[in-house]
Amino acid sequence: MKPEVSFLNQSRCFLAALTAIFVFFCLSSPAAGSEDPSSDNHGLMLAGLSELEGTHGHGPSSLDDLEGDHGHGPSGLDALEGTHGHDEMAVQDDGVICPEDSVCLEAETQLPLRLLPRPFSHVYSEPAADSDNIVIANIPAFHPLFVFERRDIDMSDPASPGGWYRVGQSRDDHQGWMQAADVMEWRQALLVSYTHPGGQIEGRNPVLMFRDLDSLKELVDDFGRQDRAREIYQGIETGDVPGEIVSMEPQRFVDITKQFYILPILDWEETSIMGDDVRLLQLAAAVPEQRGADTLDDEEYSSQARIQRGDQAGAAMEDLNVDIVFTIDTTRSMQPFIDMTREAVVKMVQDFTDDTAARFRFGLVGFRDCIDTVPWLEYDVLNFTPELVDGDRLIHLLEHELEETEVGSGDYAEEGFAGVDEALRSDWRDNSLRFMVFITDASSNPKGDPQNTTGKDEHDLRREADDAQVHILAIHLLDPRATEDHPIATPQYMKLSQVRGSSESAYTSVDAFEQEEYQALVDDIVMEINDLLQKALGTDDDAAAATAQVQDEPQEVGQGQEAVGKLWEAALVEYIGQSASPPKDIVAWAMDRDLVYTADRSLEVRVLVNRDQLSSLAQALDNVIQALMRAEVTQMQFFEALQSVSSQTMQSPEDISGAGRLADTGLLPSFIQALPYKSDILSLNDEMFASMTAEQRSQLEWNILAKLEQYRAINEQVDVWFRLNETDPDREMVYPLHLDYLP
């Protein structure tokens, strides 16, 4: 059994790592032993992050975290305007720079100015609306265009703007002219995505899209809002669509990381419902390389939008597979549970049919603790299945290769987060429901703890699991001799195993001394997954009844069934949603919450970045990490250290010393500085750094390192980058980055 010592061990691992990192970037400078240990990239970006170069506390998670005026938003945010030191003569009145023979830029953000064409608009060879001048007829609606020149732009009447834009689908060349009345300026990279809607019964309602702001406000301000909203949904279901409704999000889930769509924010208003701030958004809707307005008047779109999220109609169920990765604590005292997990898998494999055997693949990851502190543990995390394996191979691994260590690990907490982090990078198959079964009897080293080797916690890993569509079931073995650890571990694993689209968790627990109860629990979990697959494929008529069976008394078996059922439903909603289509080619108003149950968020904010922008952001944060390390070791002030390490990556590093906070240094990409959102990191200054405790500084470093690792992971995923236009080069491919991932 693990010895019970302090859970806040702040000793050897952190000091060793800090010293090693500092020595490493000292030695990796152009001249070893020189005065400037930070003049070269010291390799602190985690494995693979450097590949971003040259390639072509928790952050805000919602619109509630956007700053700026509470009136109309991004189309006229004061926060997005300004010159930022550019030549005033080159900056137009509304903060746009249009260099000769190049794309126009927003002065403050240095981002290209983009336009969203309205439906049925044309590109002309000359700035004259003559049919003989049309070079591109009916250009795709709301697909972003670059601007090369603005001529006689007059926005005094927003309903009928005057003037012309010279435009192009890529930044390499312009294609012609468009009337100002036919386009909308998209002055920032903010957009929204639909949240996971949850299950068929308890999930949220789809987003309704209103023709105008007044119609939406009238409903939101109505004391009978909930009843009126329900009536609208019922009318849509029967084909009686109210006149104020343009379109609707499909009932089935459309995941932006799998089926890319664009919902740019054009304007917003903030209001309050029962004391809770909500936002009313004007959105454009587009799907790259697709055309045609998707309104509820269109029977084809309306029919598919109304298909219930659990309805398998049109879904490729014949291609459905299931991947399960077991992530198991292999510290001392875990061997009996490893053996019982093997026995459960044996029973599962024995129950396979010829069809289901081919559909299952398995992974196996073992974790222990930080080997810098306790080297005799042999590994902190080990992936036994770089490629997923069949059931028989998993049984062999569990019997012959996955073993508990025979030595203690120094303290009680283990590197469970490292195990989850490794398991998330498994070789998951396409068209598979992805599950992780996480098994441990101890808490995980929290972010900032010297023995946390990833710099991540349950919140970071939960976001990454959502993006990867991995659903986690946590089995917590409660040792009655370590009750002080239970309040630490339980919230960690409840968050880690939160069911996507729900506030519920797939967390299960069992007394570690009741091994028969554990065997029953793990038996039930693996067999339930097998039964649910057969049910989904229509091969087991009895599976539904078995899933719905209710035990007379609470038992771990019932607990396992319930947890698996929740995860399975969320995963199946994602899979079935691949056959749904998001609305396109419309402009409408929507609320960022469920109109009936406003506590449920229906839209979340993202920022559209390309590879170059992600690379520059990673380089900036790498400099911040170097400066933090240098200031910690040399007792420099933070900004002094930052100026030193940034000397080769900034044109004027001396400007840093005069900055009041990190956001004012010019180090971070200008598009980040201009986005209207809250950030603790951007507010960092010398006084804040000096007042931090060692633990707080360590926490800050780990937070930044976690973001760097997330950037590396995003960059490595080929299938999550998208082209807005088919002619875009690789460097212009974009990714819808969570605001949580920004510094």
* Cα 123 from Cα 133, distance rounded (Å): 8
* Cα 168 from Cα 727, distance rounded (Å): 11
Strands 432-440 and 321-329, sheet pairing: parallel
Q: Kindly report the CA angle at 410 between 409 and 415, in degrees rounded to 5?
A: 55
C-beta separation of 610 from 604 below 8 A: no
C-beta separation of 637 from 627 below 8 A: no
What pLDDT, on a 0 to 100 scale, did the predictor assign at position 134? Answer: 95
C-beta separation of 341 from 324 below 8 A: no
Neighbours of 36 (CB within 10 A): 15
Model pTM score: 0.80
What ranges do the domains of the chain cover? 38-56+609-741, 78-187, 191-307+580-600, 317-578
What pLDDT, on a 0 to 100 scale, did the predictor assign at position 663? Answer: 73
Encode 603-628: b = buried (16+ Cβ within 10 Å), e = exposed. bbbbbbbbbbbbbbbbbbbbbbbbbb
Q: Kindly report the CA angle at 597 between 591 and 602, in degrees rounded to 5?
A: 40
Instruction: Please spell the DSSP secondary structure of 124-160, one letter per residue.
Output: ESSSS--GGGEEEEEEPTT--EEEEEEEEEE-SSTTS
Q: Which neighbouring-strand residues pair with 439?
A: 328, 475
Domain covering 317-578: architecture: 3-Layer(aba) Sandwich (3.40)
Give the tokens for residue 462: 């939960």
* Cα 499 from Cα 464, distance rounded (Å): 14
C-beta separation of 477 from 439 below 8 A: yes
What pLDDT, on a 0 to 100 scale, did the predictor assign at position 677? Answer: 66
Helix, strand, coil percentages, rounded to 5, for the chain = 40, 20, 40
The rounded average pLDDT for each run of 10 residues, N- to C-terminus, in the chain (743 residues) is 34 37 34 36 36 39 48 34 36 78 82 85 94 92 88 81 92 92 81 93 94 96 95 95 95 92 88 89 86 90 93 88 94 90 92 89 92 82 95 93 76 91 94 94 89 90 93 95 94 97 94 92 92 82 41 53 94 94 92 95 90 87 87 80 71 64 74 69 82 83 86 85 80 86 84
Q: Is 60 helix (H, G, I), strand (E, B) or coil?
A: coil
What pLDDT, on a 0 to 100 scale, did the predictor assign at position 76? Answer: 30
